[in-house]
Structure 1
Amino acid sequence: MKPLPMSEKFRRYRRMEEAATGAVARLKLTWSRRRLVAVFSATVIALGLILIIVIAGGIRRQDDDRRTIVSDASPSTVRLASRAHNETLGFGGIAYLSMPYRTDRQDAMELLGSVYGLNLTYIPGVDGAAIVDKAKPLHHYWLRAPELGCWRAHVDAWRYLLESDFETLLVLEDDVDFDVHIHDIFDVLSRQMQHNRIRITPPTPYEKKAAPYGLDWDVLYVGQCSDANNDNRIDLVHLYNDPHAPSREDTWFHFIGQMESLGIRGSDFGKMRAITPSWNPVCTMGYAITRKGAERLILDISYRGITAPVDIDIIRKLQQGIIRGYTITPPLFSAWRVDGAKDSDNQGLENNQTEVGAGNRNGYSTSLKTSARKQLVTMLDLHNWDDVARVFPERPNPTMTPDQEAEDKEEQRKADIEKTVINRAWASRRLEMAQTMEQWGG
């Protein structure tokens, strides 16, 4: 092979050098881009994680800020809260509304009161059709007769408070159920209400001395059918521990969503409740009212007229800021249902209802840990003759004394022995006679 000229060799080496240099440069550029992409990606991921942690931490801090769990065990707080163990749960009185003809429900309420140590005052319901036109409030034409009667009965309850010397009154409808630990539940509530984080003014000396739930509210909802939060003031919520709160499974689905929006989630169910400013509490199944609240409600839902069923009109006053209220979630009172005509005095039968219904034996309620109505059946259960048999074992002859029974038993034992001896002798004698007859050929 003919050797290349020197200049040709140089050019070839030069091209090889340039190719190698270019390859190295391209490799460095590719590696730098990959590293840049990797670093950039890692940075973005890290910042994302930090942002998530910050947001989650903010939410958690927000929830933690709401968890104003009062554990005040000072003598004054404990002493005031202990009033929840009296026969009116620490309120001035407890009244329940019932149509005069619903003696079945009145029986049930008086039974519940007696078993669980509550003094209940019966306030008769009103037939709206019987109210004379002159006594009806302005704009009453918005209401059906049953709704008008419901309004009148609640106004009568508010008047009952004003005519008494009470500061507060707990008003119940005649189909409520509650937890068997109702006194303990209100004891816990009192401790929280004495120090709740959302009241506007500090408690007065009188409240600290004589008002277990304060007096800075007009209505205190403890038995709403449903509710909705004030989305503009979701920050105003006070969460607290209650060992008698219902589990998630026992809580009505509507309240589950509301509680989760308030910061009660997961394992909190069965342990916690919330106190919130009242915004949209539907129905008047269970609520407390102060004297000032009764005055305001009579003014705005009687004196000035009415524009909707009483519970809806109260909601309007709450949202307008005309009255002030607190709502406890999940509620402390629930409706007792038997799935029949007995479930309502204001509505007709639904498609899946019967005239008779299931009856109290198969009745049910929701959002309670331990139903008082179900438990009272067990509490009053009695098996008298089984108890008598355990204390006084059955004897063959109850007219005899124990000594006479022992003597009679001994004589019977001797008679049994004598009978056994005679039977054995007779059996032996028959055997002998059989053998003799056999010998004689008989």
Structure 2
Amino acid sequence: MTSRVFEKFGARQDSTSVRFRCLELAVSGAVARLSWSRRRFVAMCAMIVLTLALLIFLTFGSLIFSDSHELPYVADAATQAPATRRLASSAQNETLGFGAIAYLSMPYRSDRQDAMQLLASVYGLNFTFIPGVDGAAIADKAKPLHSYWLRAPELGCWRAHVNAWRYLLESDFETLLVLEDDVDFDVHIHDIFETLSRQMQHNRIRITSPTEHEKKTAPYGLDWDVLFVGQCSDHSNDDRLDLAHIYEDPNVPSRPDTFFHFIGQMESLGIRDGNFGNMRVIAPSWNPVCTMGYAITRGGAERLILDISYRGITAPVDIDIIRNLQHGIIRGYTITPPLFSAWRVDGAKDSDNQALENDQSKLGTGNLNGYSTSLKMSARKDMVKILDLHNWDDFQRVLPPKPNPTMTAAEEAEELEEQRKAKIEKKEIQEAWTKRKLEMGLIMEKWGG
């Protein structure tokens, strides 16, 4: 019996040993699996950290090593020297800080002269009228060399601009702003030019340092011959896209309101989507088409009269100016988006230099339906609102209403309904012309001015 007891006890002991052994193996396996999971977890964490580090490196690397241009912001008005602000404030005067403002207009375009004088009066400016010239009336002996193939309007345009340059040389001014008679500009024109003056005084792409005379009397400096502020289109020198002075201006038009040629130029100089509507750029002039609006110094007038009159002429005046710029004969700056834009009414009224000028059956749609591009707030449109007066409506608001003894209640109700319909019709016309403006923006390039 004792032996049986020992046999049973031994069997149970062997069974217990087996169970403990199985438990030990199970625990060891669990520990092994747990250890492997920890290693995998650590490896995964390390991989995530390395991935994030790589992404950060690539992001900053693309910013550092990409060929995009850093926006060269300059000090704002609050941090600039009092002398700078004081000189820039001359842009608030009636000539925007230039010696004078002259505009060219054919003598028979009294309609445009009326408009220019009205703009000057409403916005506190002083314009000097310089008569345009009929190219066909220029004597053969007075024509510049190589001008035989120019059309009469192109020859007259050349002569009018040369007359403007002579006007500067005959005066005691150092600068002259020259405009054509169909320009539009922003309602904040004085503030826009004051901002430009501050930037020109601290122009990062200027070659020479300002003289003491410039620091005291020249709001835009005098290191240039021509300053383009109203071009139809432009592009910069592809070999020197590094030369750009970009600055903030609250009166810049939005991207949809900016002519696509200027968008392309600004992008080439480093302005990206987020900065459109906030930035303007000053760049060396290279291909500014049109002479809609530009300033000129005495030195610039001398050089241009020498090369585009004394020596002869090879192309229409704006193309010859471009030739001078690209050959380095004159020095210029271009402001983009421009500060002046063409006011368009469609038809023959739009130009005195195009084939439509003799087709008087297409006189256009009139100033009230006119439009311009690349401006945030059109002065011509705002001028109509400023001068808009509703005298009898004012009386009606101030004084108690007085019944009309000659009209019945039904007739008064009918008149009110007609007035309501007229307002709706006026709104529809305005919306239609807004759409027309956007459509015409795509073909603005062919309207040279």
Q: TM-score range by the shorter chain?
A: 0.7 to 0.9
The 5-angstrom pairing of residues 344-383 of structure 1 reads: 344-349=351-356, 355-383=362-390
SS in 2 for 1:138: coil
Alignment match, 2:440: none
Pick aligned residue for 2:135 from 124, 128, 150? 128
1:307-348 superposed Cα distances (whole Å, 9 cap, x missing partner): 000000000000111100000000000000011110011112
Task: Confirm whether residue 313 of structure 1 aligns to residue 343 of structure 2.
Answer: no
**Matching of residues 25-36 of structure 1 within 5 Å:** none
| Alignment partner, residue 180 of structure 1 | 187
Please report how far the alpha carbon of residue 70 of structure 1 lies from its aligned counterpart in structure 2 after TM superposition.
4.5
Segments of 4+ in structure 1 off by > 6 A?
42-49
Q: Displacement of 1:259 after TM fit? A: 1.0
Structure 2 residue aligned with 1:145, among 152, 169, 174?
A: 152
Partner of 1:87 in structure 2?
94
- Percent identity between the two aligned chains: 75
Task: Map residues 42-121 of structure 1 onto 2, 5 A cutoff.
Answer: 50=57, 53-59=60-66, 62-64=69-71, 66-68=72-74, 70-71=76-77, 72-121=79-128
1:193 has 2:203 as partner: no
Q: CA deviation at 1:164?
A: 0.7
Residue 53 (structure 1) shift = 3.7
- Separation in 1, partners of 2:319, 2:232: 12
Q: Distance in 1 between matches of 2:272 and 2:284?
A: 20
Structure 1 position 141, deviation (Å): 1.5
Retained in 2: the 8 A contact 1:70–1:195? Answer: no
Match of 2:256 among 241, 249, 259: 249
Q: Is the 8 A contact 1:220 1:289 kept in 2?
A: yes
Please state whether the residue corresponding to 1:349 is helix, strand or coil.
Answer: helix
Larger Rg: 1
Which amino acid counterpart does residue 325 of structure 1 have in structure 2? G
Q: SS of the counterpart of 2:306? A: helix
Q: Secondary structure at the match of 2:111?
A: helix
Deviations 1:21-61 (A, max 9, x none): xxxxxxxxxxxxxx9xxx9xx99998798466424323487
Query: In 1, distance between residues paired with 2:75 and 2:259?
Result: 24
Runs (5+) with no aligned partner, structure 1: 1-34, 398-442
Give TM-score scaled by structure 1 length: 0.76
For residues 327 and 53 of structure 2, what CA distance do their matches in structure 1 show?
47
Contact 2:103 2:129 in 1 (8 A): yes
Amino acid at match of 2:190: H
3-state secondary structure, aligned to 1:381: coil
Shift of 1:385: 1.3
- Residue 391 of structure 1 and its aligned partner are, at CA, apart by 3.4
Question: TM-score by structure 2 length?
Answer: 0.75
Q: Which runs of 5+ in 2 are unaligned?
A: 1-42, 405-449
> Which position in structure 2 is the counterpart of 1:335?
342
* Aligned equivalent of 1:293, options 293, 300, 303: 300
2:218 to 211, 214, 228: 211
Which residue type is aligned with residue 379 of structure 1?
I
Aligned to 2:435: none
Q: Which is worse superposed, 53-62 or 375-384?
A: 53-62
* Contact 2:68–2:270 (CA under 8 A) maintained in structure 1: no
Distance 1:51 1:389, change over 3 A: closer
Count of residue pairs brought into register by the alignment: 356
Pairwise CA RMSD of aligned residues?
2.5
Residue 158 of structure 1 corresponds to which residue in structure 2? 165
Distance between the aligned counterparts of 2:190 and 2:356, measured in 1? Answer: 35
**C-alpha distance in 2, partners of 1:45/1:164?**
68
SS of match in other structure, 1:369: coil
Select 1:279's aligned residue among 278, 286, 301: 286
Residue 396 of structure 1 and its aligned partner are, at CA, apart by 8.3
Who is 2:245 aligned against? 238
